Amino acid sequence: MAGLTLNHLYKRYDNSGKKKKIKNDFAVQDLNLVCEQGEFVALLGPSGCGKTTTLRMIAGLEDITDGEIYIGERLVNKLQPKDRNIGLAFEDYAMYPPLNVYGNVAFNLRAKGVDKDEIDKKVREIAPLMQIDDLLEKMPVKLSGGQKQRVNIARAIIREPELLLMDEPLSHLDGKARQAMRTEIKRLINKIKCTTVYVTHDQLEAMSLADKIAIINFGVLQQFGTPTEVYDDPANEFVASFIGEPPMNILETTIIKKEDTFFFTFDNSNLQIAVPKRYYSVVKDGFRCKMGVRPMDVLIGGPDSQGTPEEIATFENLGDERRIGIHVGDVLMMLITEDEKRYKRGDIIKLEVRGEKTHLFDIETGDRIREKKE
Amino acid sequence: MARIQLENVRKAFGKVQALDGISIDVKDKEFFVLFGPAGAGKTTILNCIAGIAMPEEGLIKFDGEIKNLIDPAHRNVAMVFENYALYPQMTVYDNMASALRSKLYKTPEDEIRERIMWAAKTMKMENLLERLPSQLSNGQKQRVAMGRALVRTPNVFLMDEPLAHLDAKLRNSMRTELKEMQANLGSTCIYVTHDFMEAMALGDRIAIINEGKIVQIGTGDEIYYMPCNEFTAQLMGDPQINIFDARIGEVAGGFTATFPVNGEEITVSLPEDGRVYSTIKEKGLEHVDIGIRPQNVKYSFEAKEGYFKATVYSYESIGNKSVIVAECGDYQLRMIAPNGLSVAIDSDVYIRFELDRSIFFDSVTKEYIVRYDEQTFIDLAKSEEEK
Amino acid sequence: MKTGKQKALNILMNVLLIIYAVFALFPLIWMVMISFKSDTEVFTTTFAFHPTLANYKEVLLRSDYGRYILDSVIVSGGAVLVSIIVGVPAAYALARYNFPRKEDLAFQILSYKFAPEILVVLPLFMIYQKLGLYDSYLGLIWVYQLISLPLLIWVVRGYFEDISVEIEYAAQVDGYSWYQIFFKMLVPLIKPGLVSSALLAFIFAWNSFTFPLILSSNKVYPVTVAIMKYLGTDSAHYGQLAVASTVSALPAVIFALCIQKHLVRGLSFGAVKG
């Protein structure tokens, strides 16, 4: 059963009332998404890409210009937020300061007029799950960021919503606390098995938390898939460069044919990389496209390597790993190695690329060029 | 450019001893990194060198000359502040020109222009020069703050977390460029950071600071491979090094380490290594803390010979790779895995340590005792220093 | 999209505002009207009358009114000037330095404004007589500090606190001396607050009545007190009184209008900005 279905969703802001004429662009454009029951889905994209607008439409805080939203099997387009049976955990904690944690968690149920004993039972049930059992008597001002966030989530899920929505809940935390809280959220959601939509601009967060990631840019869905899919099999150049840190190396290339072998060649560079056989059906001599390869998949060849000798432009020893930069034309191509050898600028290394890990992108549209299926 | 020395510098704010006997000797043209957790006193050290803060005790010398009583203006230092400290009423251009327009460092206007253009180009902000600071994003402000320092030719550049507010991509590229720039300028640079990668990548030498004291000074490799105590070991490395308590036992022809995993005792034999074995014998070690980096912990999702069982606590991406955290009873183990595995929380994972990469710490004092292949790493660190 | 309900609410709110405006402005309008009436018409309550400039001629040309205005300008302006010279460094010190009982001192300065003027003015009268400050420019300028100084110090202090101390450090490192930093870097940043609080202080000083009434007599004659003159012992020239009041209110009104935007922004800016 689907937990959440977005069907040709559009959002267009009405700017006609404003003095300054703003281009009447769609904030969200033809968004189709099916989240399975109990799935954790991240909406990921740069700021202003329409991910928060989407979330707000799902929550009912924003009008829908066109399209349909189903929660479970119910069409919720016309329903008020309170009738949609959703839990919200937003960026700002927005707790009621005069109430203690217990009061805050119980607030929604009290407002609904649920029986007192019933409320108490539920709060006591949920508190250990969120690890807030010893905080129940505390006031919100006394809580740390991480604790507030846990209370916030407890408050969202106490109503047993069909759908849990979170909007950048970690953006207030920094560094270590953020990482720890990320783990916590992942484990909590795993326990309650609630369908969750999570908005973030941080690809690490999305990669770590989500079962599936929806990558959005300029209001348009770029790719929807598991972290593995978006990392190893990006739909286009945007997804390829957005996911992964340091980002994928993406280089413009001209493919040439020597005897029976195709090679990637690059302007102002002697670098040549053999084109993997699987692409032979789509490339031809003189074909121009972009080649993408992750820094982890660029290797330093041994003494008898066939790789092109290249000069090291930058070398960084980061302890756990070393990063080497090589000028390919005017682009700095990065490679990461855990090899303990220390290089310095000007050293020559033989460069090899894991052919099976290269991706081709259209030079104009950035769309992925895929090998033809047999 | 100058050699900067601090001798036993002490500074207190009220009852808080911010600096507790800091001595460092920064060589001319060296890139020196002050690295430590928040509140360690790193910024106070910079302030003392700049003359903004006055130490109660100790000497501050530039090229051997005592500067304690010289005011900041006359020390000729360039500083990048963490909160940028841009002059809000001035454009980016005027901000960058301000030092060169002061009476003390008066420079002809066309030379100022030339230098600003150069700095703006290196900092990739030529298009920002006419803007006011309020019209800039945090990342842009940080670049302006850097540019304002770079136009000068000071005794020393003091940089306080200059890359902290940039996004990850820009931070990586700026880090690479900064190192190159410093090498080209041939300037002394003292750089404060709490980011371990910056410290490793930039520092000719790194000083680890904690609670107003220097914990260790050395090259990146020295500190990374031979941390003087567990605190330093945990600071250097992301994800953090695993440290657990083990009991040493002796068997025919060698030693074993025994440690608990989920209530069971696991015994593994310690690989042979001359220096490790002789140290164990000499000191009669019975208990040690074993430190082992996440990349030296091997995992498998099926039972295997020599692997012990633990439970997956979390699996998370850290960029180009991922971390599996495994629960082992009282402690957790971090290990490196590739991105994009499907790892279920609370599932079983089987673990093996590459003990021949481990570091031994005293289980009471938490100080460094010995590590495997110690001589190799001593040589490596030395070759780094010579470079 | 505006529904009928919203429209009705809008109209209602505007009506209420107009009622309030009439209530607040009516006395002023009435005063201006009186100033154009002849003595005989003063007490008529209709709006119809024969406008005359006689009162203006009488007050502005045939009395010492010009001198009174000048006195007001000197004491109010002088008071503000002294407040700036004393207050800006004081505000800086309160914002930047830590010393024992700092907050108590700051509060004490503010508390000068709490005491009813009439309470302090009597002892001051005796002291002033002994010191020879009675009926002198200096005396009034001094006592006006009770009005202008706290205001200025508190507003400007907020502005100084908003300037991060690192900006001063940066300027020091850039090779500037403390005085150069103060005038080149800090003064431009506190200017909005300084100007607005100084103007407000000027208006308050200008409008002050109790202090000049009791602490001055013949030599120094600010307008607020001088207006009383037109309430003679034998006859009350309400027309002339109205002229004197209108003219004396003009500087305040003009200032307020000119700097309206500046004033609101200047006084609230320091508090809002993070």
Spans of all domains in chain B: 4-231, 242-386
Report the chain C residue with the minimal C-alpha distance to residue B106. Answer: C175
Is some CB atom of chain C closer than 8 A to the CB atom of B99? yes
pLDDT tens readout for residues B311-322: 999 998 887 889
Tokens, residue A231: 């990392």
Contact B220 A295 (CB under 8 A): no
Res A92: pLDDT: 65
Report the chain B residue with the minimal C-alpha distance to residue C172. Answer: B73
Res C1: pLDDT: 45
Highest mean pLDDT among A83-92, B359-368, C220-229: B359-368
DSSP C149-178: HHHHHHHHHHHHHHS-HHHHHHHHHTT--H
> What percentage of chain B reaches a pLDDT higher than 70?
99
Cβ neighbours of residue A286 closer than 8 Å, sequence gap 6 or more: A254, A255, A256
Taking contacts as CB-CB distances below 8 angstroms, the residues of chain A near B321 are 296
Cβ neighbours of residue C153 closer than 8 Å, sequence gap 6 or more: C87, C90, C91, C94, C106, C109
Cβ neighbours of residue B277 closer than 8 Å, sequence gap 6 or more: B254, B255, B270
In degrees rounded to 5, what are phi and psi of residue B346? 70, 10
Contact B339 A227 (CB under 8 A): yes
Q: What is the mean pLDDT of residues C76-97?
A: 94
Res C271: pLDDT: 39
CATH of domain B242-386: 2.40.50.140
Q: CA dihedral in degrees (C64, C65, C68, C73; nearest 10)?
A: -140
**Average pLDDT value for chain C:** 86
Res C177 pLDDT > 50: yes
Contact B200 A319 (CB under 8 A): yes
Highest mean pLDDT among A46-55, C42-51, C88-97: C88-97
Report the chain B residue with the minimal C-alpha distance to residue C166. Answer: B85
Res B296 pLDDT > 50: yes
Contact B176 A316 (CB under 8 A): yes
ipTM: 0.86
Mutation for B interface: A316, A321, A337, most B CBs within 10 A: A316
Distance CA B373, CA B259 (A): 23
pLDDT tens readout for residues A197-227: 999 988 888 988 899 999 999 899 999 999 9
Which of A243-257, B370-384, C7-21, C234-248 bottoms out in mean pLDDT, i.e. has the lowest? Answer: C234-248
Q: What is the mean pLDDT of residues B13-22?
A: 92
Give the pairing type, strands B189-193 and B31-35. Answer: parallel
Res C233 pLDDT > 70: no
Q: How confident is the model at residue A165 (pLDDT cuts 50, 70, 90)?
A: very high
Tell which residue, A336, A340, A346, has the closest CA to residue A313.
Answer: A346
Please return the burial class of B145, using the count of CB atoms within 10 Å of its CB with bins 0-12, 13-18 and 19+. buried
In degrees rounded to 5, what are phi and psi of residue A209? -95, -40
Which of A297-306, B241-250, B303-312, C251-260 bottoms out in mean pLDDT, i.e. has the lowest? Answer: C251-260
Give the architecture (CATH level 2) of C54-272.
Orthogonal Bundle (1.10)
Distance CA B184, CA B178 (A): 10
Res A303 pLDDT > 90: no
To the question of domain A249-369 being in CATH 2.40.50.140, the answer is yes
Contact A318 B201 (CB under 8 A): yes
Cβ neighbours of residue B314 closer than 8 Å, sequence gap 6 or more: A183, A186, A187, B323, B324, B325, B345
Q: How confident is the model at residue C272 (pLDDT cuts 50, 70, 90)?
A: very low
Distance CA A325, CA A305 (A): 19
Which of B11-25, B198-212, B373-387 bottoms out in mean pLDDT, i.e. has the lowest? Answer: B373-387
Q: Give the three-state DSSP class for A10.
A: strand
Res B381 pLDDT > 70: yes
**Average pLDDT value for chain B:** 91
More confident residue, C252 or C203: C203
Q: Are B19 and B66 in contact (CB under 8 A)?
A: no
Alpha-carbon separation of residue A90 from A96, A128, A222 (angstroms): 14, 22, 25
Is some CB atom of chain C closer than 8 A to the CB atom of B50? yes
Which of B8-17, C110-119, C211-220 bottoms out in mean pLDDT, i.e. has the lowest? Answer: C110-119
Res A71: pLDDT: 92
Q: What is the mean pLDDT of residues A94-110?
A: 85
Res A23: pLDDT: 56
Q: What is the mean pLDDT of residues A135-153?
A: 84
Smallest Cα distance from B7 to chain C, Å = 22
Q: How confident is the model at residue A16 (pLDDT cuts 50, 70, 90)?
A: low
> What percentage of chain B reaches a pLDDT higher than 90?
69
> What percentage of chain C reaches a pLDDT higher than 70?
92
Q: What is the mean pLDDT of residues B75-99?
A: 93
Give the architecture (CATH level 2) of B4-231.
3-Layer(aba) Sandwich (3.40)
For the beta carbon of residue A343, count every other beta carbon within 10 angstroms: 17
Q: How confident is the model at residue C241 (pLDDT cuts 50, 70, 90)?
A: confident
Distance CA B24, CA B26 (A): 6
Spans of all domains in chain A: 2-242, 249-369
**Average pLDDT value for chain A:** 87
A-contacting residues in B 75-134 (Cβ below 8 Å): none
In degrees rounded to 5, what are phi and psi of residue B349? -140, 145
Give the architecture (CATH level 2) of A2-242.
3-Layer(aba) Sandwich (3.40)
Q: What is the mean pLDDT of residues A342-357?
A: 89
In degrees rounded to 5, what are phi and psi of residue B314? -160, 160
For the beta carbon of residue B39, count every other beta carbon within 10 angstroms: 14
Nearest to B197 among A247, A318, A325 (CB): A318
Q: How confident is the model at residue B183 (pLDDT cuts 50, 70, 90)?
A: confident
Q: How confident is the model at residue A125 (pLDDT cuts 50, 70, 90)?
A: confident
Res C274: pLDDT: 30
Taking contacts as CB-CB distances below 8 angstroms, the residues of chain B near C169 are 47, 50, 52, 72, 79, 81, 85
Res B207: pLDDT: 97
Q: How confident is the model at residue B23 (pLDDT cuts 50, 70, 90)?
A: very high
Res A93 pLDDT > 80: no
Q: What is the mean pLDDT of residues B206-226?
A: 95
Q: How confident is the model at residue B52 (pLDDT cuts 50, 70, 90)?
A: very high
Q: Are B158 and B190 in contact (CB under 8 A)?
A: yes
Tokens, residue B36: 């430590």
Report the chain C residue with the minimal C-alpha distance to residue B99. Answer: C174
Smallest Cα distance from B45 to chain C, Å = 14
Q: Give residue A262's identity as a one-letter amino acid code.
A: F
Instruction: Provide the 8-state DSSP code for C210.
Output: H
Contact B52 C172 (CB under 8 A): yes
Q: How confident is the model at residue C3 (pLDDT cuts 50, 70, 90)?
A: low
Cβ neighbours of residue C109 closer than 8 Å, sequence gap 6 or more: C90, C149, C150, C153, C154
Q: What are the respective helix, strand and coil percentages of chain A, to the nearest 5?
A: 25, 35, 40
